[in-house]
């Protein structure tokens, strides 16, 4: 498996899935923390886990750190927005 580095882009279509482009590692994104609203974070990586309901599906997570800290977090791909 290829190790990703800052600035790399990945298309899930390369793996036979529908075409989704992941935010490059090192880019800023917004996540909703529910307790304090939207927080600015930096993408540090990605990981996928098998679905809880269907062994053929996977949930894609975005690994982030809160901007200006070393505090890590992870959010589902659909819960992350670009920070324009």
4 vs 78: CA distance, rounded Å? 20
pTM for the full predicted model = 0.72
pLDDT tens-digit profile of 25-71? 999 999 988 887 899 999 999 988 887 787 777 788 999 999 999 99
């Amino acid at each position: 498996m290829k190790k990703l580095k800052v600035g790399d882009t990945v298309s899930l279509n390369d793996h036979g899935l529908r075409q989704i482009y992941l935010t490059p590692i090192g880019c800023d994104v917004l996540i909703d923390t529910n307790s304090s609203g939207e927080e600015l974070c930096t993408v540090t990586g990605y990981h996928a886990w098998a679905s809880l309901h269907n062994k053929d599906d996977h949930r894609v997570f975005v690994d982030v750190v809160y901007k200006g800290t070393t505090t890590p977090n992870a959010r589902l791909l659909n819960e992350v927005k670009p920070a324009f």
